[in-house]
């Protein structure tokens, strides 16, 4: 059994080092860390969900750039720059919905632009590794701040429902939705968490339940179809989920099934919160209808975890995400505080430099 808290991913070594990450496809029955020593293995890890969760994907992609440029360290400036740009473009094709992927890659590209013409290939590579480390460190602090703000929304004895996995496994350290639960528990609150199974890949059952058990937090796994009944029985007092991309108007894309949970929460008059860092907000997208939705392999449904459960050649519709309208969201829990409606006006705080105190 691994330690209670272990990094989801980290860089090992210096400029010639590599990315190490937990293979989340094996949890909860097997814990294994894998080493990604080339950009293809990082791309594959993101694509097949060995690493998942918008913030963690962003950190992995940044380190993926550092891995990918190692083959061109001895090349001339032109060849090195061509290689870095190729690696960034390649990593951007791994998954389409999580905006942190593109946010992190854009940060890496800006480092390249700033250093072009006056830094050697090695110096530029060192700057890129420093930027990737900064992205990881910022994510750790962001999650801690986010959890602290969100914990104020809960009281001891409450039941909290969450969907998919937005814990430490989805970030560099502490999580988004689960950061709120971790922070509340550390503050002495007693909570009962209900984790939706999250079909078809069962991130709630496999990952969220595993994380909460590691920390000794009471958790009960329910099938996605049970959420309405659990709410009607009065067991749930708040819903907290993460997000992969949030539009300027507050529409939020998260793992498929989140929209349905939000509708159920609204019917039962339960506050529905989205916990996400500022980097997950895409202000270039006006509304949720513009968010690109990833469609995944039909075999995830017809042959889940290797066993056929549907007729051969049956038609399958397998979007990985849905979009929850802003009207169903009671508030966004961010590192800058809890942001309430109206969102078009109030979310603009996330586009401004933070105050020195770090508190809105």
Phi and psi at 142, nearest 5°, equal -60, -45
Pick the catalytic residue from 145, 224, 244, 282: 244
Residue 36, helix vs strand vs coil: strand
The two three-digit tokens of residue 146, written as one number: 């986010």
pLDDT digits (tens, 9 = 90+) for 205-254: 999 999 999 999 999 999 999 999 999 999 999 999 999 999 999 999 99
H/E stretch holding 108:
helix 99-115
- How far apart CA 161 and CA 194 sit, in angstroms, is 5
Look at residue 98 in the predicted model and tell me its pLDDT.
79
Which of 94-98, 153-157, 261-265 has the lowest average pLDDT?
A: 94-98
Confidence of residue 355 (pLDDT cuts 50, 70, 90): low
Strands (E) located in the chain: 9-12, 18-22, 33-36, 159-162, 192-196, 219-222, 238-241, 245-247, 252-255, 272-275, 281-282, 321-324, 331-334, 337-339
Percentage of the chain surpassing pLDDT 90? Answer: 89
The domain locations on the chain are 9-143, 147-351
Look at residue 27 in the predicted model and tell me its pLDDT.
94
Statement: residue 330 has pLDDT above 90:
yes
Q: CATH topology of 9-143 equal to that of 147-351?
A: no
Look at residue 5 in the predicted model and tell me its pLDDT.
65
Mean of pLDDT over the chain: 94
Statement: residue 359 has pLDDT above 80:
no
DSSP state of 295: B
Q: Which CATH number fits domain 9-143: 3.20.20.70, 3.40.30.10, 1.20.120.420, 3.40.50.2300?
A: 1.20.120.420
- 147-351 in CATH: which number? 3.40.50.10470
pLDDT digits (tens, 9 = 90+) for 68-96: 999 998 888 899 999 999 999 999 999 98
Mean pLDDT of 170-198: 96
Mean pLDDT of 107-124: 92
Look at residue 1 in the predicted model and tell me its pLDDT.
36
Residue 244 annotated to the active site:
yes
Distance of CA 248 to the CA centre of its chain: 18
Sheet with 18-22, strands from edge to edge, namely 9-12, 18-22, 33-36
Look at residue 76 in the predicted model and tell me its pLDDT.
84
């Amino acid at each position: 059994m691994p330690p209670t808290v272990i990094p989801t991913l980290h860089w090992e070594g210096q400029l010639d080092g590599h990315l190490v990450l937990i293979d989340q496809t094996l949890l909860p029955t097997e814990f294994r860390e894998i080493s990604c020593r080339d950009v293809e293995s990082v791309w594959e890890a993101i694509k097949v969900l060995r690493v998942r969760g918008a913030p963690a994907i962003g950190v992995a992609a940044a380190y993926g750039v550092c891995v990918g440029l190692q083959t061109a360290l001895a090349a001339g400036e032109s060849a090195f720059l061509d290689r870095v740009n190729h690696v960034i473009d390649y990593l951007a094709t791994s998954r389409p919905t999580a905006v942190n992927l593109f946010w992190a890659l854009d940060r890496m590209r800006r480092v390249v632009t700033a250093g072009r013409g006056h830094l050697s290939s090695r110096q530029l590579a060192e700057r890129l590794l420093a930027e990737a480390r900064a992205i990881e460190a910022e994510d750790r602090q962001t999650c801690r701040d986010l959890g602290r703000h969100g914990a104020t929304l809960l009281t001891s004895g409450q039941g909290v429902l969450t969907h998919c996995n937005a814990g430490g496994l989805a970030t560099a350290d502490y999580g988004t939705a689960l950061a709120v639960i971790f922070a509340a528990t550390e503050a002495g609150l007693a909570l009962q968490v209900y984790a939706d199974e999250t079909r078809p890949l069962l991130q709630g059952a496999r990952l969220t339940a595993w994380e909460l058990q590691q920390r000794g937090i009471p958790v009960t796994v329910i099938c996605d179809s049970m959420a309405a009944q659990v709410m009607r029985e009065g067991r749930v007092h708040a819903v907290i989920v993460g997000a992969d991309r949030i539009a300027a108007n507050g529409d939020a894309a998260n793992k498929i099934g989140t929209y349905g949970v939000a509708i159920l929460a609204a019917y039962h008059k339960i506050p529905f919160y989205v916990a996400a860092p500022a980097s997950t907000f895409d202000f270039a997208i006006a509304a949720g209808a513009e968010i690109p939705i990833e469609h995944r392999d039909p075999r995830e449904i017809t042959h889940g975890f290797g066993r056929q459960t549907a007729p051969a050649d049956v038609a399958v519709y397998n979007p990985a995400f849905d979009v929850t309208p802003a009207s169903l969201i009671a508030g966004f829990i961010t590192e800058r505080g809890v942001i309430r409606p109206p969102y078009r006006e109030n979310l603009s705080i996330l586009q401004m430099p933070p105050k020195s105190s770090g508190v809105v």
